[in-house]
């Protein structure tokens, strides 16, 4: 078994050779404007600002072209440095300059779909609220991404990654960090947010043979929008994971967002607040009940009209491509990594964080150390997973010893609980013999005895299973057994929609808002609740018509009306409701019995 010292982070020698052996391949979507660049070029072209208390605009500390990585570190020594921010763009493009940029023949073009038509009405309503919120939230100005692209093209940087290697909890961890001048997901690809600068990473978890052989790839984790913990990672034999020459993982980077995906395709963004998640799950069950033949993709939330395009049909960087990597090794002692805690771009002060620039690879925006940097194994949910077969055997052996200790303690506790139960029972008998009724109960102690017996039974079963596993090693778990949510492309939902559906999807929320406004203005004539029900039903009917699902919608509406009628009947005429229920039950029972009788004949 490994020593405690080997389970903590320690330095790794010859990082460049190790990094080159496993360096990733990044594949982008056609229309991507920004590729990973060296931070030196960004800093040298940027101005440094400091946010001052009670001031709306930041204060200029050093103008563009007057700082580099060394001077950046010196500025960050005062006040912790979390109030600093780099501005790569001095100001957005004017409308005329923006139009010229859009018509440049060398600008990459993107062909998207119809995001509004791919989701339902609830998703479009949430999108509308998010768009309205940008009016009061901090927002990256229009033309910002175009100005950043012009400056990025002028710098003409070579694709660069920053790599660090540490040992953590028995794994050899290899992290590749990628820096982008801009996240232009909203402005270029109709996504959720924009922010100046972007840090993304992938982490490889390697195992080291005890005989001193070369490290082997075991797990891969990509930074992503929604996945955390176990959902971040894939095992090396997972078919979702593509490897070039067996060692170079392929990352399908999101257009503008640069988040990583294992499988190429278009991914619909979802939101899943607990209350909405319970509501949507209830609606799915109700829909399957009233329309058993209906098929729908199970989602983890409500789809929004935002798409993370991770198609891999655009430029590629890495082994086997026309764009090789420029590697740079970093660690905890790299001055700019350790000492600069400010933001790497313009800070919009967005309270939701979506439009704010990021901090560096080591820090969060508040200056705390990122979990992915400080404890990468915990970040990917691998603390519980032994790295190698010998580690698995050692963990099983440890568990066998722990079970023996727990069993001894449980059996002692069971004897004490039984003794206590019997003494309580006899005390109650003695009290009953004197005549007065017993006021105490032994049910609680009996429940404790039962729980201890169950605990012992479970420990004995586990002890037997562990003993068998020590003799015959366990087979590998299914490759997706650790996943709670497997992220897959949404190709079915993103099929081209008819122009009528696209037009209606773009108009539907506005039509509903105008109808509600009309209802409020004339609510003396039309009751508000009744009017809202009519508006929602009419909009849903139009939606179903354009999607070719009018008959299923009408069937659902009829079923809902029948249920409501039944509830109303039960409330207003209980005797009649009971009679109707008994008649229906009689016919159902008769049908079941006749079917069984005929089947037996």
CA distance 235 to 205: 10
Strand 216-222 with 233-235, pairing: antiparallel
pLDDT at position 130 is 65
CA distance 214 to 102: 50
Residues in CB range of 223: below 8 A, 6 or more apart: 200, 201, 202, 232, 259, 260, 372
Strand 25-27 with 248-253, pairing: parallel
CA distance 269 to 186: 13
Distance set, CA 341 to CA 12, 82, 364, 487 (Å): 25, 5, 8, 32
CA distance 171 to 376: 10
pLDDT at position 218 is 96
Give the length of the chain.
601
Give the SS3 label for residue 499: helix
Taking a C-beta distance cutoff of 8 angstroms, is the pair 357, 346 a contact? Answer: yes
Terminal Cα-to-Cα distance of the chain (whole angstroms): 69
What stretches of 166-323 show up as alpha helix (H) in DSSP?
185-189, 274-290
pLDDT at position 292 is 47
pLDDT along the chain (601 residues), means of 10: 42 84 96 95 94 86 91 79 90 88 84 64 66 69 89 92 94 96 90 90 91 86 83 94 95 94 86 54 54 48 70 94 95 94 91 86 93 95 93 94 96 94 87 72 87 96 94 90 86 61 70 78 70 78 72 72 77 81 82 73 58
CA distance 203 to 180: 18
Distance set, CA 572 to CA 234, 563, 583, 592 (Å): 58, 14, 19, 31
Give the SS3 label for residue 8: coil
């Amino acid at each position: 078994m490994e020593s405690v010292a080997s389970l903590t982070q320690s330095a790794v020698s010859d990082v460049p050779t190790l990094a080159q052996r496993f360096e990733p391949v990044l594949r982008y979507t056609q229309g991507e404007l920004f590729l990973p660049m060296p931070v030196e070029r960004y800093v040298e072209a940027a101005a440094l600002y400091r946010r001052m208390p009670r001031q709306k605009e930041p204060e200029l500390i050093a103008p563009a072209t007057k700082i580099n990585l060394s001077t950046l570190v010196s500025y960050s020594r005062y006040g912790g440095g979390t109030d600093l921010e780099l501005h790569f763009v001095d100001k957005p493009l004017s409308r005329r300059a923006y139009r010229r940029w859009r018509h440049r023949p060398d600008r990459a073009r993107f062909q998207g779909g119809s995001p509004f038509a791919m989701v339902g009405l609830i998703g479009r309503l949430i999108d509308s609220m998010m768009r309205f919120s940008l009016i009061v939230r901090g927002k990256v100005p229009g033309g910002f991404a175009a100005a950043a692209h012009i400056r990025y093209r002028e710098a003409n940087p070579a694709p660069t990654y920053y790599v660090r290697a540490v040992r953590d909890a028995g794994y050899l961890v290899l992290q590749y960090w990628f820096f982008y001048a801009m996240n232009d997901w909203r402005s270029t690809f109709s996504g959720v947010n924009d922010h100046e600068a972007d840090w993304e990473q992938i982490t490889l978890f390697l195992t080291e043979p005890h005989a001193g052989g070369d490290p082997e790839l075991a797990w891969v984790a990509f930074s992503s929008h929604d996945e955390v913990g176990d959902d971040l990672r894939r095992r090396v034999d997972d078919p979702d994971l593509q490897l070039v020459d067996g060692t170079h993982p392929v990352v399908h980077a999101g257009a503008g967002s640069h988040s990583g995906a294992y499988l190429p395709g278009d991914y619909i963004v979802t939101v899943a607040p607990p209350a909405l998640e319970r509501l949507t799950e209830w609606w799915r069950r109700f829909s399957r009940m009233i329309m058993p033949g209906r098929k729908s993709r199970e989602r983890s939330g409500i789809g929004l009209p935002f798409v993370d395009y991770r198609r891999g049909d655009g430029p590629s960087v890495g082994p086997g491509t026309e764009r090789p990597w420029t590697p740079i090794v970093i660690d905890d002692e790299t001055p700019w990594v350790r000492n600069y805690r400010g933001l790497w771009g313009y800070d919009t002060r967005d309270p939701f964080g979506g439009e704010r620039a990021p901090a560096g690879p080591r820090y969060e925006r508040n200056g705390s150390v990122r979990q992915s940097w400080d404890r990468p194994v915990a970040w990917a949910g691998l603390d519980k997973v032994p790295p190698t077969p010998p580690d698995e055997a050692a963990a099983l052996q440890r568990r066998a010893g722990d079970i023996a200790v727990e069993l001894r303690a449980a059996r002692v506790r069971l004897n004490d609980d039984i003794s206590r139960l019997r003494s309580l029972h006899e005390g109650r008998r003695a009290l009953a013999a004197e005549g007065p009724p017993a006021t105490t109960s032994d049910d609680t102690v009996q429940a404790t005895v039962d729980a201890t017996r169950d605990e012992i039974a479970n420990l004995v079963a586990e002890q037997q299973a562990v003993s068998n596993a020590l003799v015959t090693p366990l087979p590998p778990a299914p490759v997706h057994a650790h996943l709670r949510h497997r992220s897959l492309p949404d190709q079915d939902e993103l099929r081209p929609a008819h122009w009528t559906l696209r037009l209606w999807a773009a108009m539907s929320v506005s039509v509903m808002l105008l109808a509600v406004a009309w209802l409020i203005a004339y609510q003396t004539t039309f009751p508000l609740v009744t009017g809202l029900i009519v508006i929602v039903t009419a909009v849903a009917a139009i939606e179903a018509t354009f999607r070719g699902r009018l008959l299923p919608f009408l069937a659902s509406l009829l079923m809902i009306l029948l249920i409501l009628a039944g509830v109303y009947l039960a409330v207003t005429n209980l005797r009649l409701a009971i009679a109707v229920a008994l008649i229906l039950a009689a016919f159902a029972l008769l049908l079941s019995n006749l079917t069984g009788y005929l089947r037996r004949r």
